[in-house]
Every structure is written in structure tokens, then in C-alpha cells.
Structure 1
């Protein structure tokens, strides 16, 4: 305290004690005064009272200083964190702002902290204070402590799509909350009235109409998620990220067994993508009716829905789509075990624009669902595909009666459909617009049923029959008698069909038929027709495919060449019995020139045939496939280089060509190959690298698989020389 207080204290002590005279024993003793207040004079009494008050003030000041020192120690311990680290703490003033330091000390003083490594204080009070400060530091920021309900109210008041998209980047919690906000829950945006705008801004575009919302949300964006990419967080990000960039129009999710897409993610899409028109869900086992119902509520513009292996989606979800998405045009349901007849009935009744329906491997779909769907949507339905269902003849009868606008019909794996079903479908005469029909693995298809189909479908252009064990030449002939508009005929694994039946059908449809394809038909065998010169010609046939039919050899091909002189495309892949002698008459009989020739797997073909082929048709030939023809050598490449000017696709895989042949191809200036395959050509070595590098800028694809050219240096050289070309190695 002050010097005055100290002087007063000394004066009081001097009056309080005095030294006593030395007694006879020689010992000096000190004694205090024992005067009472009553015996004190008045001036001494006043001076004593003032001294006691000063002592009390001094004690209070000392106590305040002690308390301030203790509190300062607590704060210092918290600041340096008693746990401490080995880092050296630089010295400096405790308070950079004098206002803060005035809380404890005078404004005219500051406290200096000398440099030290760590502060060690043993007082329990200081430890508790430090712990409280540390806990306070670890507490989240104030907005993170808000419950979801409060944060929801804040986020739904964001002014626009861009603001919501930016806010979604803060955390996953914000992202999922923003994804859960429905469009109807967003706070209304405040807009200036037209009158108020006119007061400040002149109308420079009076005649211009501009709908900004329509431009932003026209739904032209497409997103595809495969396997592990498909998660709820990713869907929420897509929903919030695309709304301000044109709007999501198409979403394809290809999941897997480990995919964790749930109704939460699909709900985010429903809330943020009102312009969604195409939705495809494959192998998403956790999506339920709730998620699909959210899509129906939030995406009324949905036009195409594809559901594959979604076991938790039932009729309830499909009914919601039918009621809320009147623009639905295409529906595909595959391996959805919970979908049955009720859902299909709702689709037929509530979707007047439905054009295409595909139902595959759905155990609970029967005649009732198919009949109600087809009968209700008869005015718009154009394409029907039914595969692996338990439907019977009743369903086919309804299709034949109500399918007045059906143009494409595909029936695959229907074991309960009999001959009667196909007969009734054709004789109801309802399929007047049918242009293409494909029937696979239906044992109910017989000669009678095929004839009835031709009778009831006068516009039929294409017939595809796969794996029919009861169809014979008689049925094919009867069909050709009625189907006068047939252009494409494809028969696969029909072993009762012979070459006689095929030629008969070709001649009966000789004015319009353009393509015939025979694949693995074991009944197709050589015939020796002596009066072949007297047969009429089919001038319309342009394409012929005979693949993996071992009975076809020399005589059959020669006969085909005489009957069909206008052939341009021939595919004889897998015909190991074909030789040069059987093919030369076929190539010589063509009057227009071959464009595409596929001799893949014809192991007996030699250089003589190739030389003859390119000499006769080199000016028109564009594609030549000699894959697996081991007798083809560099001699064939020399003939190709000399005669082919339009060839752009050449396949020499597994042939006996070598470096010399590659050099010939590279030096042919008239060649402009786009695709070249030298896969498994063992005679092509590293010497061919310089020539391959000079093939020209027209080359876009080069196949060198299983080739000796494959090496690090060789591939690096080719990639530098042919940087514009896709090289497969």
C-alpha cells in the first residue's frame, strides 16, 4: 500500500510497546502497554481508531491481491493447457487488448509471461478449470447442436437451388436433410411485383417471353450408377447438384448384392428431380413400395420405368406409379417376385399413353393381369414382350383380339401356351398392324398356329422362330402362302425345316423378301435338284445367313446362287464343309456384286477363292471376314491390295499371313482400311511394326491380341505412330 499507511503503522507500534528499564538482575524486558480506552486521552483514542481502520483496509487489499493471483494462475494454466507439450511457448503480454486485462488488474498495468515450456500447477481447482475449458473447446459449434427439426426449418428457407446445392457440401447431415425436403415444403420466394419493377427498370424486352424455371429444369441430364457407386449419399448429391444445372432427366442404377440404395436415396431423387422422365432400377434389393411411391409423387413426368430384380416392390408401388404418372409410355418388369396382376391392371387403366410393355420372369403375373392390361390399353399399346410366364391360351386370345395397334410381339418361354392359343390369336383377326413377331421356346407353336398367325397379320414383315421342335416345311410353306409382305425370315434351332421348305418360302415371297437367316438348323442338308435351271429366281433377296448348319455343302450353295442372283451379303460362318468348289459358283452367279462376305470358320477356303472373289467383286466389297481360315496366306493379301478399293473391314485372325503380307497392305495406296484384325497370327513378327505404322490415317481399330508383336517397346512404337487408332492387345 502507500508510504503513508506504512508510517502510520510504525507510529502505532511505537506507542504500543516501550522498553522497560533494566531491573536489578540486569535483564532488560519488553512489555506492552495495557492501557484501556477509558484511560486514553481523546486524541490518542481517535488516533487508535484510525489505525485499526487502516489495518483492515490493508488486509482487504492483501486478500484481493491473493484472489487475483489465484485467478490469474487458473487462467494461465488453462491457456497453456496443463497437459502441456514439448513445444516452447514464447513470452509476451497475456492480454493483447487492455480492455481484457482490466478485468483483473489496473488499466495501467500488464502482466508479462516469461518463456517457458509448460506450466505445472498442483492445485485441484486449476485442473478442474482447465478441464472445463478443454470441454468447452471440444463442444460443436452452435448450429451443429440444433436438432434436425430446427435445421430443417432453416434449410428449407434457402432462396434458390444453387444455395441449397452449396449448403449440401457442408456435411452429410445437411446433405440428407436437404434431400428430404419436398418441393411443397420449400418456403415461397419473395418476388418483386411487375409494377415495382417498372418503377426502377425499363422494359427492354417487352415482347420476349422467358420462363427461367422451365429452362433450368428441362431434364436433359443423364446419370448412371454402377455397383458400388450406387449409395443414398450419391443419390442425394445428384438430386441437389442437378437441379440447378438443367435438371435430371434420366437415371440408371445398376446395383449388386452389396448395393446399399434404399428408399431414402430414391426419395431424394423424387424431391429434387421433378423433371425425371426415365428411371431404371436393376438389382436394388432394398428399394420398397415407399421409395417408388415417392418417385410417383415427385416425378409426374415419368415416361419410362424399368424394374429388374427388385423383390420388395409390389403391386402397391406399381399402382402409385399408375395413378400419379399418366405420361408413362414404357414399362419393363423383370424378376420382380412381388408384382402381380393388380399392378398391371392399374397400369392399363390409368396410363392412356402406354406403348410398350415387357414382363419377364414374374411368378405372380398370370392371365388376369395380362388380359386386363392389354384390353385396357388397346388403343395405345404397340409393343408386347412376354417371357417366362405362367400365362395360358387365354392371354394369347386376348392379345389377338385387343392388340389392334400392336406392331411388335415377342413370346419367349411360355410352357402353358398350346396350339390352340396361337390358332385363336391368329384367327381373331385383331393383329392387323403386326409387323414383327418373335417366338422362342414355345412348344405350342405348330404348323397350324403359324398359318393362323399369317392369316391374322396381313402386315407382317418379320418372322423369328427359335427352338421350335414341331414346326416343319408344311407349316413354313403355308405361312409363306399367306404372308405376302414377309421381308425377313430367321429360323434358329428348327430341326424339322429342310432346304426344300426354305427355298419354297423364298420363291413364294420372291417379290418382297430381303433377308433369310438359318442358324443351327440340322435339317438343312444338300439336295440334288436336277431341274434347278427351270426354277424361278428371287430377285429381292439381298442377304443370306447359313451358320452352323453342317449339312450344307457344295450342291446347296450352288443352287442358292442360281435362285438368288441379287445377293449382296453372305454369312457362312462355321461351315467347315464348305470348299472353294462350292463357293465359286455362288460368287460367280451374283449380278450386283457382293458387299459383305463372312467366311469365318471355313477352314477349307484357300487363296484361290479369295483371289477369285476380290477380282469379281473388289469394286463393291466393303467387309471380308476370314477368321480361322488357316489356308489363307500372303498371296490373298496381294490380291486384296490390287483389287479392293472400298474395303474398310478386314479380319485375318488366325490366318497364315506374315510380315510380307502386312507390308503389302501398308503399301497399297487405294486401300483405306478402318478396321484390321491380326489376332493370333503367329507369322506376323516385330518386322511388321514399321509397316503397321504406315497404314494410314483412316485406320481406327487394330486388333493384335495373342500376337508376337505385343511387347512394351512395340506397343509404345505403335501408340506413337498410330496415336489416333484404338489398338487392342
Structure 2
């Protein structure tokens, strides 16, 4: 016995800890009593597998805490002190993550123990500070495609609580194997009470249960955006209405199970609602829309797209929409002329400033005139694919809408040049911007405009892809609109120098931005005139696709344009000589230069481009096949402040 007691055993020491990983099993082996002494640091003289064998079979050993049921683990984890420590615990395993994310704020245990040396006031202030950090809601997270999973949502719910709190969450698409479900959304509801904005796009796996949990846990929610969510129904909206009274913005698109009942609940319980957008929801009808519009006194922005509503809904808009500032109506096939007419004559849209109407058969000459008279503060009017509006309706509207500043007509093919001339003459001092997009009804007609009043207020003119507009139309516009500053004539391939010259000569204010992209028939002569007449004011010039433009135009630009900072000569007949002229112009300070598809620009232009790069922040050399890769690499290295596309 003395020999055994005095034996040091240094050669037999086991420094790796207890031979049995499980402390519980260790307790079974070592019964500490008065007559037995055991040293745990000694290597076991007996095989552990022989000792723990039960019934002739070796049992799998697990950490002791993992054998506890979830209820016990939950009680342990909810007593973890701070948010950062809970985040660390959630990193241990998926089981711990899901348990931690299932905790509501009210379930987290807060100790009342006062640290020695601190006062009760210190503890109270510390508690206030921690709550402030967790409820701030300053963080934004966006999950797209494969990244959208329940595990990632649970991690966000746990991790953001200690870092300012989640304020905005966007889920777009979902993982095809482990997609987002109600469980992931429930984790967000439990861990992110500060959530103010939630966007769900193309998430068919999320249903009413997940959104109902959001309503229970996220009472601060202000914005809800649901798109292509086939499993979400009226039940979710009813829950949101009850749990989120601060809701200000609601967007619903392509949700086949959402109808009138859900919208009526929102109307009853969300008095702060300001913006509503409903698109392609077949169950939404007059009852739901009219309930929203008649109950929400603060509703300022309304968008109704492809809905089965009738004239009744538009009558309600006209009568109750006293706070509406922006109104968008698209694809309302069941609304007739009477609906739009009543909306105008109801005299309720006094605050309306922007009106957009697209593909609505009910927009006719009579109804558009009524809207012009009823919306006395209307500033912007957008008409798209309204084929029943003719010249008479446009002129009548221009006479009624005395405050209009911006008019955009897109694919309104019943409107001709007479309607445009009459409208410009009627607006006189209010209209600042006119945009014509793909209006095939406007064609060149010789009209005497000397007897008409000019539109001195027009500053912006945009005409895109209107094939009938040629030299006569532009000459007429130039005479009627002498104060133009921004001119965009994209795709007018029928216009020549002779048509554009009167517009340039009649512009008294000085052109600032000119876009002539796609005007194939323009030559160096008109660019030279543009530079001579407006070189002191011109800041942006786009000649993309003007194939007849050569280096001569660049010479005129270099000599006359003092303020030009954006030049696009893509697909033009530009060569190295033209680039050299630009680089040698002392007064020119270009910031953006596009030479895309200019085959005449070669490696020889590298020194000139390097010199221009002293002021450039953007350079486009795409499809310049005569410029080699080595030259591009040198330019990238030298022009490190400039974004180069090649």
C-alpha cells in the first residue's frame, strides 16, 4: 500500500481530461466515500468500453445537455443574459438556433440581481439601454433565391436583436429544396418586434400561419408588400389589421386568395393607411376597394391594376378621395365612360397632383374633359394606350386643366398633330414638359402656326419612336415652343438637318440637354450649328446611332462647347483624329464619354484617352474591336478614378 500511495506515476499521467466524456457516467463509476480515493487524472486501468457496455451493446455517447428535452433547453437558453450571448448560443447547433429563435421577447428571463457596487438606478438604466438597442429597428436584410431558407431567417431573427433590431425584411423567391415556410416567418415574428417593413415576393410556401405570427409579434409594422403569394388569404390580412394598427403602406399583387373581406378588415382597423396598391387579384371587387377609400382619411397614393371593379369604385374615389395626391388606374376593363366622368365631376379630388390612366376603355373625350375640370390642382397627366381619346378630348382637357405642368401620351393613336398643336396653344404658361411615346397617329401636316399663341412655359420635349413625325412637325414645335432647354428626339429616323434647324434657331433660352439617338439622317452640318448656337449652354449631347456623324462634329464641339460634360458618339464614324481633337480642347471638361461600336477608334487613341481621363469618371469602349486588351488594361491602370466599360 505505501508503495502504491507514494507512486508518482508521471509516465502514466493522462492530461486529456476524464476518460469518460459524460460526467453522468463518470459519477456511476466513481462513488466517492470515506474508504475509497480516486484520482481522475490517472489513465484508466480498465477499458471504458467494458464498463459502459449495457446488455452486451455499446451505447452512443452524447453531451449531457443534448439529452435534455427541448422544454428544458428552452428554459436554459431563455435565461442567457444578453442578446449577444444568445446569438453565440444559437451558433452551437441547428437545434439551439431554432429554440432560441422561437423565443418571444416576453419569454426572455430578466434577472433582478444587483451587481455589488451598483445602485438600483444603474441597473434600471442598463435595462433601458438594452431595450432601446433591441427595438431600434435600424437593420435591413434581403434574402433572394437559394439564400431564402428557414435557418437563415432564424439566424437573422436571433442575430439582429443585439445589433439594433431588424427594421426591414425582404424575401424574394425561395430555395426549391429548403424554402422559406411559416416556421421561418414565425422566427422573425418572435425575435424581431421592431420590424417595420416586410416584403414577400414569389413565396408560395408561406401561408396564413406565418403572416398571422407576424401580426402577433410585430405590432410596429408599417409597410407590407405581398406579391405572387398563392397561399396567403384574407385570414392573413384580418390578422394584420388586428395586430398592426400603424400600417401605412399595403401592396398586394397576384394573390388569388385575397379578396374583399381582407381589405374591409384593413379599412376598419388601420386608420393611418396612406398608400395602397392592388394588382391582379381576381377576388377583389367594389366592396373591398370602396371600403378602403371611404374609410382611410389619410390615403394619399392609390394604384388599382387589373381588378374586377366597376363604375361604383371610381365614383367612391371621386367623392371620398379628398387626400389622394397620386392616382394610378390600369387595365380596368369593367369601368365605362360614366365611371371616369363621375370621378371627375364629383369634385372630391382637389388635392390630386398626378394621374396615370393605362389601357382603360372608359377614358374618352367626355370623361377626360370632366377629369380636367374636377382635378383643379392636377400637375401631371399620363395617358397610356387610351385609344378612345382624340384631338377634341385632348384640347378640351388642356383648356380645363389650368395647373398642368407635365403631359405624357403613350400609344394614344387617335391623337394627331392638330391635337398636339391645340394643346400646346391652350396651355400657354403652365405646361413645362411634353412627352410623346409611340404615337402613330401623329404625322407631318403643313399647318400655319403663326396665328396660334406660343407655349412659353415648355422646357422639356421628348419624342420617342413616333415614325410619322418629320421635318414639318419639328419646325412647328420650334415655333410654338421658344423656351426649350431639354430636347429628346430618340428614334426619329425621318428627321433631317432641315427639320431640326428651325427648332435650334427658335430656341431662345439655350439648349442644355439634347438627345438625338437613332436619328440616322442627321449630318455634321446640324451638329456644327447646334454647337455654334448653343455651345455656351449645352451640357449633354447624345448622337448614338447617327451614322453620318464624323470627326468634323467633334471639331465643332471642341471649339464651341464650354460646359459639355456628357458626350455619346456610339456607332458614329469617329476615328482617332476626332478623339485627339477632343483631348486637345482646353476648355472641354468631359466627365462621361461613350465611343461604343466606333470601329475607327484604335490603339492609337490611348494617349488621347489618357489625357481626357484627367476629368472623366465614365468611359464606354464596348465593341471597339480595334482597341486591344493590352491598351484597355493600361487605361484601367492609369485612369483609376474612371469607370471603364470594355
Q: TM-score, normalised by structure 1?
A: 0.80
Post-superposition Cα deviations, 1:694-724, rounded to whole Å, max 9, x if no partner, equal 2134322221211115543223212101112
Structure 2 residue corresponding to 1:722, chosen from 635, 639, 642 = 639
| Pair 1:610-2:531 in alignment | no
Counterpart in 2 of 1:367? 286
Residues 502 and 135 of structure 1, relative CA distance in 2, 3 Å threshold: farther
Give the deviation of 1:129 after TM superposition: 2.6
Structure 2 residue corresponding to 1:463, chosen from 366, 381, 398 = 381
| Pair 1:345-2:256 in alignment | no
Give the deviation of 1:318 after TM superposition: 0.8
Report SS of the residue matched to 1:327. coil
Report SS of the residue matched to 1:533. coil
Counterpart in 1 of 2:591? 674
Counterpart in 2 of 1:183? 105
Give the deviation of 1:140 after TM superposition: 1.4
Counterpart in 1 of 2:162? 244
Kept in 1, the 8 Å contact 2:322–2:351? The answer is yes
Quick one: distance in 2 between partners of 1:181 and 1:172? 15
Structure 2 residue corresponding to 1:129, chosen from 50, 61, 67 = 50
Kept in 2, the 8 Å contact 1:217–1:244? The answer is no
| Pair 1:522-2:443 in alignment | no
Give the deviation of 1:209 after TM superposition: 13
Post-superposition Cα deviations, 1:476-514, rounded to whole Å, max 9, x if no partner, equal 111112111111110010111011111211121111110
| Pair 1:429-2:351 in alignment | no
Quick one: distance in 2 between partners of 1:335 and 1:298? 26
Q: How does 1:250-329 map to 2 (within 5 A)?
A: 250-256=168-174, 258=176, 260-329=179-248
Deviates most, 545-554 or 353-362:
545-554
Gaps of 5+ in 2: 1-8, 20-29, 31-35
Residues 96 and 675 of structure 1, relative CA distance in 2, 3 Å threshold: closer
Quick one: distance in 1 between partners of 2:290 and 2:527? 56
| Pair 1:158-2:77 in alignment | no
Give the deviation of 1:289 after TM superposition: 0.9
| Pair 1:695-2:612 in alignment | yes
Kept in 2, the 8 Å contact 1:308–1:334? The answer is yes
How many residue pairs were aligned?
613
Quick one: distance in 2 between partners of 1:631 and 1:567? 26
Structure 2 residue corresponding to 1:381, chosen from 273, 296, 299 = 299
Structure 2 residue corresponding to 1:407, chosen from 303, 309, 325 = 325
Give the deviation of 1:329 after TM superposition: 0.7
| Pair 1:444-2:362 in alignment | yes
> Alignment RMSD, CA only?
2.9
Kept in 1, the 8 Å contact 2:114–2:120? The answer is no
Quick one: distance in 2 between partners of 1:444 and 1:329? 30
Give the deviation of 1:669 after TM superposition: 2.7
Counterpart in 2 of 1:496? 414
Structure 1 residue corresponding to 2:475, chosen from 547, 558, 572 = 558
Residues 391 and 200 of structure 1, relative CA distance in 2, 3 Å threshold: closer
Quick one: distance in 1 between partners of 2:226 and 2:120? 55
Q: How does 1:638-657 map to 2 (within 5 A)?
A: 638-657=555-574
Quick one: distance in 2 between partners of 1:536 and 1:131? 104
Give the deviation of 1:598 after TM superposition: 0.6
Quick one: distance in 2 between partners of 1:199 and 1:353? 40
Quick one: distance in 2 between partners of 1:417 and 1:173? 55
Report SS of the residue matched to 1:539. coil
Counterpart in 1 of 2:497? 580
Residues 614 and 315 of structure 1, relative CA distance in 2, 3 Å threshold: same
Kept in 2, the 8 Å contact 1:447–1:476? The answer is yes
Report SS of the residue matched to 1:693. helix
Give the deviation of 1:265 after TM superposition: 1.1
| Pair 1:420-2:338 in alignment | yes
Give the deviation of 1:346 after TM superposition: 0.8
Quick one: distance in 2 between partners of 1:549 and 1:692? 36
Quick one: distance in 1 between partners of 2:195 and 2:225? 13
Quick one: distance in 2 between partners of 1:93 and 1:240? 48
Kept in 1, the 8 Å contact 2:314–2:343? The answer is yes
Report SS of the residue matched to 2:313. helix
| Pair 1:174-2:93 in alignment | no
Give the deviation of 1:725 after TM superposition: 1.6
Structure 2 residue corresponding to 1:143, chosen from 46, 49, 65 = 65
Q: Which has the higher contact order (CA 8 A, sep 6+)?
A: 2
Give the deviation of 1:172 after TM superposition: 1.3
Kept in 2, the 8 Å contact 1:672–1:696? The answer is no
Quick one: distance in 2 between partners of 1:191 and 1:395? 61
Give the deviation of 1:667 after TM superposition: 2.3
Quick one: distance in 1 between partners of 2:493 and 2:181? 53
Residues 247 and 726 of structure 1, relative CA distance in 2, 3 Å threshold: same
Quick one: distance in 1 between partners of 2:617 and 2:246? 42
Give the deviation of 1:533 after TM superposition: 2.5
Give the deviation of 1:604 after TM superposition: 0.5
Quick one: distance in 2 between partners of 1:296 and 1:148? 26
Residues 219 and 644 of structure 1, relative CA distance in 2, 3 Å threshold: same
Q: How does 1:91-106 map to 2 (within 5 A)?
A: 93-94=11-12
Counterpart in 2 of 1:224? 142
Quick one: distance in 1 between partners of 2:78 and 2:285? 46
Report SS of the residue matched to 1:455. helix
Quick one: distance in 2 between partners of 1:467 and 1:246? 47
Residues 189 and 642 of structure 1, relative CA distance in 2, 3 Å threshold: farther
Quick one: distance in 2 between partners of 1:574 and 1:447? 29
Residues 219 and 167 of structure 1, relative CA distance in 2, 3 Å threshold: same
Residues 374 and 286 of structure 1, relative CA distance in 2, 3 Å threshold: same
Counterpart in 1 of 2:4? none
Counterpart in 2 of 1:627? 544
Give the deviation of 1:161 after TM superposition: 0.7
| Pair 1:453-2:374 in alignment | no
Give the deviation of 1:264 after TM superposition: 1.2
Kept in 1, the 8 Å contact 2:464–2:492? The answer is yes
Post-superposition Cα deviations, 1:327-354, rounded to whole Å, max 9, x if no partner, equal 1111000001111111101111111110
Give the deviation of 1:557 after TM superposition: 1.0
Residues 202 and 142 of structure 1, relative CA distance in 2, 3 Å threshold: closer
In terms of Rg, which structure is larger?
1
Deviates most, 716-725 or 571-580:
716-725
